[in-house]
Amino acid sequence: MSFPSIKRNALETLQVNLGYKCNQACIHCHVDASPFREEMMNEHNIKLIPKIINQYLIKTLDLTGGAPEMHPLFKSLITEVSKLGIEIIDRCNLTILKEKGYEDMAKFLAHNKVRIIASLPCYLEENVDAQRGKSVFQKSIESLKLLNSLGYAKKDKGLKLDLVYNPTGANLPPPQKQLEDTYKYELKKRYDIDFNNLLVLANMPIKRFSNFLKKEGKLEEYKLLLRNNHNDANLNSVMCKNTISVDWEGKLFDCDFNQQLSISSKIKPNTLEGLSKDAINIRGIEISVDNHCFGCTAGNGSSCGGALT
Ligand code: SF4
Ligand code: SF4
Residues 244-260 pLDDT 10s: 999 999 999 999 999 98
Residue nearest to atom 1 of ligand 2 (CA): 293
pLDDT digits (tens, 9 = 90+) for 70-109: 999 999 999 999 999 999 999 999 999 999 999 999 999 9
Ligand 2, atom 5, residue with closest C-alpha: 293
% pLDDT > 90, the chain: 82
Structural domain total, the chain: 1
Distance 250 CA to ligand 2 centre (A): 19
Answer for the pair 94, 120: CB distance below 8 angstroms, yes or no.
yes
CA of 48 to the centre of ligand 2 (A): 25
Task: Give the per-residue pLDDT at 178.
Answer: 94
pLDDT, one tens digit per residue, over 199-209 is 999 988 888 78
CATH of the domain at 168: 3.20.20.70
Cα 161 from Cα 279, distance rounded (Å): 34
Whether residue 47 contacts residue 75, with contact meaning beta carbons closer than 8 Å, is answered with no
28 has pLDDT over 80: no
- 284 phi and psi, to 5 degrees? 95, -10
Q: Which ligand is nearest to the CA of 31?
A: 1
Partnered with residue 90 across adjacent β-strands are 63, 116
Ligand 1 and 65: CB distance under 6 A:
yes
What is the rounded distance in angstroms from the CA atom of residue 31 to the CA atom of residue 204? 11
214-234 mean pLDDT: 95
| pLDDT tier, 278 (very low <50, low <70, confident <90, very high otherwise) | confident
Residue nearest to atom 3 of ligand 2 (CA): 289
269 preceded by a cis bond (ω within 30 of 0): yes
Ligand 1, atom nearest to 32 Cα: 8
pLDDT at residue 30 is higher than 80: no
Report, as an integer, the average pLDDT of 176-198: 96
Q: Which carries the bigger pLDDT value, residue 25 or residue 162?
A: 162
Residue 6 lies in a domain: no
User: What confidence tens digit (pLDDT) does each residue in 155-173 have?
Assistant: 999 999 999 998 878 899 9
307 located within any domain = no
What tens digit of pLDDT does each residue of 134-154 get? 889 999 999 999 999 999 999
C-alpha–C-alpha distance, residues 248 and 46, integer Å: 9
**What is the residue with the minimal CA distance to atom 2 of ligand 2?**
255
Q: What range does the domain containing 67 cover?
A: 13-297
